[in-house]
Structure formats: C-alpha cells, structure tokens
Amino acid sequence: MRLNLANSSHLLRDTLNNIESQINPRMFVRIHRRTIVNIDRIKEVQTWARGEYRVVLSTGAHYTLSRGYRQHFEKFIKLGA
C-alpha cells in the first residue's frame, strides 16, 4: 500500500482493510476498494462516468468514488443527488 502525504509518499506492507480499521473514521473515508482519503483535504466532488464520481483533493490529486462506496461516502459529504 502507498501512503501519500503532503510532501512525501511511503510504501507500507499492510492491507487497506487493516489500515482502515486503525484510522479515525471521522477523519478518513474509503471511496474505492483501493483508496482512502482525508475528509479535510476534499476540495470538490465531480460527476464522473458510469454512475461514479471524482473526488478532487486540495492538492489537485483526484480519485474515483466508486458506486459501491458512494452510500458510505454520503454519510460524510452531501453530493446533492
């Protein structure tokens, strides 16, 4: 797993499920089977293809919010849908 921080990235030998169980669920949300984001770093959510959305972070990085994680994500962020 790759952990991306503001100015660096680190490789961790652990599963995303294990990492997710250890982090604060009020600060981080899973948006895809491969991606967890810091809620405070979300700049916007854009409509994307095939019922998916694109989460844009304040750093300019963007990630797919898959349909399977959308309902979970909506607990934290209103998509307006």
State the residue range of the domain holding 54.
2-74
Q: Label each residue of 4-65 as H, E or C.
A: ECCCCEEECCCCHHHHHHHCCCCCEEEEECCEEEEHHHEEEEEECCCCCEEEEECCCCEEEE
Q: What Rg do the C-alpha atoms of the chain give, in angstroms?
A: 12
The DSSP secondary-structure symbol of 76 reads: T
Look at residue 31 and tell me if it is in a domain. Answer: yes
pLDDT band at 79 (very low <50, low <70, confident <90, very high): low
pTM: 0.82
Structurally, the chain folds into a number of domains equal to: 1
pLDDT digits (tens, 9 = 90+) for 31-62: 999 999 999 999 999 998 887 899 999 999 99
